[in-house]
Structure 1
Amino acid sequence: MSVVSNSKKLRQPIVVVLGHVDHGKTTLLDKIRGTAVVKKEPGEMTQHVGASLVPSSVIEKIAEPLKRVIPFKLEIPGLLFIDTPGHELFANLRKRGGSVADIAVLVIDINEGVMPQTVESIEILKSRNVPFVIAANKIDKIPGWKPNPDEPFMSTIRKQNPKVVKKLEDMIYTLVGQLANYGVYSERFDRVRDFMKTIPIVPVSAKTGEGLPELLAVLAGITQRYMSERLRFAEGPARGVVLEVKEEPGYGTTIDVIIYDGVIKKHDLIVLEGINGPIATKVRALLMPRPLTDIRMAKGELRPVDEVYAAAGVRIAAPGLDEALAGSPLYVVPDESKVDEFKKRVSEEVGLVRFRRDINGVVVKADTLGVLEALVNALNKKGIAVRLADVGPLTKREVLEAAIVAKNDRYLGVVLLFNVKALPEAEELARKEDVKIFRHNIIYKLIEEYEEWVRS
């Protein structure tokens, strides 16, 4: 994987896909991944852990017909797509003051327009300052549409009946109007004059592949043109973020990490956040998928490698990861004497997300740091005070915190649980103390249910 040569090297931008349920996020990612595997050069690596690389060679092949319309030369090595769509996972791509994601694709079903999770995605993208492109999906569902598989949008649109073209135009303008209500100024991509001020809308069909050439070209073009400073490859110790914590047979508890800067090597000392404070441990193995030879071999087994360069998705095996937290920052410590300094850095960073304050406010528990942060931000925006925010199941102590608040303010003396359980003794105490517990695995629904209860 070692490919660092000239000093001006850019790394792959990290791309995340968001959108409302059933608007086609997964289908779009599958189409992009499938295309990457079919069109890559022999021996080119497309598979990462938790992410898929679309190499530049593939983007250039797919976007070849566009060269006449949009001349571009790619300097980035490709685009690294995070495999799991949706904003719960996006929330974990957190780093101080923003996101590890460089750019996002917001998928909107053009036939349905803006929906609740579209709004939630916009909010979280804005709060993390992540630029995005809109994929107006399911153009193949427009009545009368004649599909031209894998063609650029600009050529398939010329083959459609004028009535169908008019219908598409109307749908795009409805979408532009809806988005404007949320402070998003957008326009069809080929009419955008300034990509810094206007969000491009690329009409696509994840099913037929129409419009995919433009979507990839626009993503590559925007990141390369406006983010070359951010994408400059950094030599030196890696920085990353923990996406997921999971069991790997033969290795015990492992972490899936997105490395966004620098290099990580086998035996490196790393620091990350755990349930009971920072964990310092040594990398026992770095695991990456074998290069795919053919699309029918889905994500294959992992093999150990000696080092991994940004940007990459990698599974890390190391002792003592049982308490690791998803959404935690991860640092490679350059020398062992600095381990306390890095532990302090991780604690400070995470302390902004996990906290207890002596105020009247709600108790919030979530399954990952990223979602916890997104939840607290959403509550703050609505002026709902938070007394305690933490990761993991609800404990008796936390129910007591809510009970104390309930004596002063019944509406704030409550618990909000995102994707975590209450321990049996906590559940019992909540019943005894009459502390209301709200549970959901969609952020906006959790807050909505609480607000409705307050109103009623």
Structure 2
Amino acid sequence: ITQHIGAYQVNHKDKDITFIDTPGHEAFTAMRARGAQITDVAILVVAADDGVKPQTIEALDHAKAAKVPIIVAVNKVDKPEAKPEKVRQELSQYDLSPEEWGGETIFVDVSAKKNQNIDNLLETILLVAEVQELKAVPKGNAYGTVIESKIDKGRGPVATVLIKHGTLKISDNFVAGMTNGKVRALFDDQGERIKEATPAQPVEILGFNSAPKAGDVFRIVKSEKEAREVSEKRALKQRLIEQKQKAHLTLEDLHKQIADGKIKELNLVVKADVQGSIEALKDSLAKVDQEEVRLKVIHSGVGAVVETDIMLAAASNAIVIGFNVRPDAKSRALAEKENVDVRTYKVIYQIIEDISAARKGMLAPRIEEEIQGEAEVLQTFKAPKVGVIAGSKVNNGLINRNSSIRVIRDGVVIQETNIASLRRFKNDVNEVKEGYECGIGLENFQDIKEGDIFEAYIEVEKPRE
């Protein structure tokens, strides 16, 4: 399941086409809606073997609401069970009638896996753009939309912005939502450093004072002073709005409803790998029936679960939810001390399923992880047969040869795998204890970097209490 919006460019016949890849999972309504609002043409990708699904219709509704031309790409037509004609039949019921049937919608049969008919799809996009008379305006101050943001260890707040108009340059002062800054560096969709970004170009920007929100409008201002003033005014306005919203339910009223058994609250502290994931999770939580139990996100943020999150949860009697992020060793120890329930997930619907089941008292036995230890990668080198070896130091607990391994980078889980080799000096060993150094090779994972954390764990089935 694709988890984030990504943006990248493809050159076809000396013309650049920028793609914004919106996730297909229904939980990512907010992200997909934002994607449709910043595009000129929508490509609805439907699998020829699966046909039209609920998320297909949801994506179609967003494209229609954005009032952009729609091209249907029927994928996986190389499969024996593919039924592209059935896809056309199903979509015609939603006012997407194929041109070959006398309608106005262009359908292109493709196979991404076999690179079949992709050139035809790109040609179709350029044709639709030409009919729409879409033109880039590189002159003037740049403005665009924040597609994604994150906190990068060593680089600080980083955001991907799609430039809509004008040209963005190094040292430009800018405002994005309630954040501001000055462009320190620009990187294109291939990660290459560039000096300027032009219309329809996705660009990664360094220089934010804090991480903006996905969907924020990004624009250039004259000076650092103006950038600060605009973002401060916006922040003040947002605080006033939040205070008004809190005033809707008084403490007296809340106490009465709890006393009468009409309302109970489940407080949540939510941490995730990127801002888009937080919005998607909040959107999914809002759809849960809250008549008996009110779900309240008291804090959300990007990055690993840290000690301040645990203290807030302890003070508020809240559960901590981590999506694609983990608590570090200190946070885990504090959570145990304060009896704070910290739950980590990789897929949003599992969070919703757990909460829904807990409300009904029907939680199934769960697989719990027992963390055995952590090792930090100090350096990497290559070895014959095994590949990349991580020269590591065990900072706590122990690393066992049979443990499962979670690779954590900047608080975000990037891989789960097993140990291929574990050595001290030149000897194979079964385990390495805290304080000792060792060489660790992983199965099917070579992209190991200095500073990565290897979290060793085993899974144990435990009954619900």
2:261 is the counterpart of 1:338: no
Report how far residue 107 of structure 1 moved.
2.8
Figure out how many residues of one structure are paired with residues of the other and give that number. 335
Report how far residue 138 of structure 1 moved.
1.2
2:179 is the counterpart of 1:283: no
Report how far residue 419 of structure 1 moved.
1.7
For the 8 Å contact 1:365–1:391, the answer to whether it is kept is: yes
2:298 is the counterpart of 1:388: yes
Q: Secondary structure at the match of 2:203?
A: strand
| Alignment partner, residue 327 of structure 1 | 214
Q: Structure 1 residues 80, 138: closer, same or farther in 2, change over 3 A?
A: same
2:274 is the counterpart of 1:368: yes
Q: Secondary structure at the match of 1:139?
A: coil
**1:31-180 matched pairs, under 5 angstroms:** 51-55=8-12, 57=13, 78-82=16-20, 99-114=37-52, 133-142=71-80, 168-170=84-86, 172-173=88-89, 175-176=90-91
Report how far residue 241 of structure 1 moved.
1.5
For the 8 Å contact 1:237–1:334, the answer to whether it is kept is: no
Larger RCO (CA within 8 A; separation ≥ 6) = 1
1:243 to 136, 144, 148: 148
For the 8 Å contact 2:142–2:219, the answer to whether it is kept is: yes
Distance in 2 (CA, whole Å) between partners of 1:119 and 1:258 is: 26
Which letter maps to 2:49?
N
Q: Structure 1 residues 278, 90: closer, same or farther in 2, change over 3 A?
A: same
For the 8 Å contact 2:137–2:199, the answer to whether it is kept is: no
2:203 to 308, 311, 314: 314
Q: Structure 1 residues 224, 441: closer, same or farther in 2, change over 3 A?
A: farther
**Please, what TM-score do these two structures have when normalized by structure 1?**
0.55
Which letter maps to 1:136?
V
Q: Secondary structure at the match of 1:284?
A: strand
For the 8 Å contact 2:22–2:32, the answer to whether it is kept is: no
For the 8 Å contact 1:241–1:327, the answer to whether it is kept is: yes
For the 8 Å contact 1:399–1:426, the answer to whether it is kept is: yes
| Alignment partner, residue 172 of structure 2 | 268
Q: Structure 1 residues 370, 248: closer, same or farther in 2, change over 3 A?
A: closer
Distance in 2 (CA, whole Å) between partners of 1:189 and 1:381 is: 37
Report how far residue 267 of structure 1 moved.
1.7
Q: Secondary structure at the match of 2:211?
A: coil
Distance in 2 (CA, whole Å) between partners of 1:287 and 1:119 is: 35
| Alignment partner, residue 192 of structure 2 | 302
**Please, what TM-score do these two structures have when normalized by structure 2?**
0.54
Q: Structure 1 residues 440, 312: closer, same or farther in 2, change over 3 A?
A: same
Q: Structure 1 residues 269, 101: closer, same or farther in 2, change over 3 A?
A: same
Q: Secondary structure at the match of 1:370?
A: helix
Distance in 1 (CA, whole Å) between partners of 2:348 and 2:97 is: 29
Which letter maps to 2:175?
V
Q: Structure 1 residues 138, 304: closer, same or farther in 2, change over 3 A?
A: closer
Report how far residue 248 of structure 1 moved.
11
Q: Secondary structure at the match of 1:141?
A: coil
**1:392-431 matched pairs, under 5 angstroms:** 392=302, 393-395=304-306, 398-399=309-310, 414-424=319-329, 427=332, 431=336
Q: Secondary structure at the match of 2:141?
A: coil
Q: Structure 1 residues 383, 252: closer, same or farther in 2, change over 3 A?
A: closer
Distance in 2 (CA, whole Å) between partners of 1:381 and 1:224 is: 40
Report how far residue 365 of structure 1 moved.
2.6
For the 8 Å contact 1:53–1:78, the answer to whether it is kept is: yes
5+ residue gaps, structure 2: 250-264, 363-465
The C-alpha deviation readout for 1:366-414, integer Å capped at 9, x for no partner, is 22222222222222233554332421333555556656776xxxxxx54
For the 8 Å contact 2:307–2:331, the answer to whether it is kept is: yes
Structure that is richer in strand per residue? 2
| Alignment partner, residue 411 of structure 2 | none
Q: Structure 1 residues 237, 90: closer, same or farther in 2, change over 3 A?
A: farther
Which letter maps to 1:448?
E
Q: Structure 1 residues 433, 51: closer, same or farther in 2, change over 3 A?
A: same
5+ residue gaps, structure 1: 1-19, 22-48, 59-76, 146-166, 290-298, 407-412
Q: Secondary structure at the match of 1:79?
A: strand
Report how far residue 268 of structure 1 moved.
0.9
Q: Secondary structure at the match of 1:311?
A: coil
| Alignment partner, residue 42 of structure 1 | none
For the 8 Å contact 1:419–1:440, the answer to whether it is kept is: yes
Structure that is richer in helix per residue? 1
| Alignment partner, residue 347 of structure 2 | 442
Report how far residue 454 of structure 1 moved.
2.8
Which letter maps to 2:296?
V
For the 8 Å contact 2:180–2:227, the answer to whether it is kept is: no
The C-alpha deviation readout for 1:253-285, integer Å capped at 9, x for no partner, is 765432223321222112347xxx7342x3234
| Alignment partner, residue 359 of structure 2 | 454
Distance in 2 (CA, whole Å) between partners of 1:241 and 1:395 is: 26
| Alignment partner, residue 285 of structure 2 | 379
Which letter maps to 1:316?
I
Distance in 1 (CA, whole Å) between partners of 2:297 and 2:213 is: 22
Cα RMSD for the two superposed structures: 5.0
Report how far residue 169 of structure 1 moved.
2.5
Which letter maps to 1:283?
V
Report how far residue 54 of structure 1 moved.
3.2
Q: Structure 1 residues 98, 403: closer, same or farther in 2, change over 3 A?
A: farther
Distance in 2 (CA, whole Å) between partners of 1:110 and 1:326 is: 35
For the 8 Å contact 1:357–1:387, the answer to whether it is kept is: no
For the 8 Å contact 1:239–1:332, the answer to whether it is kept is: no
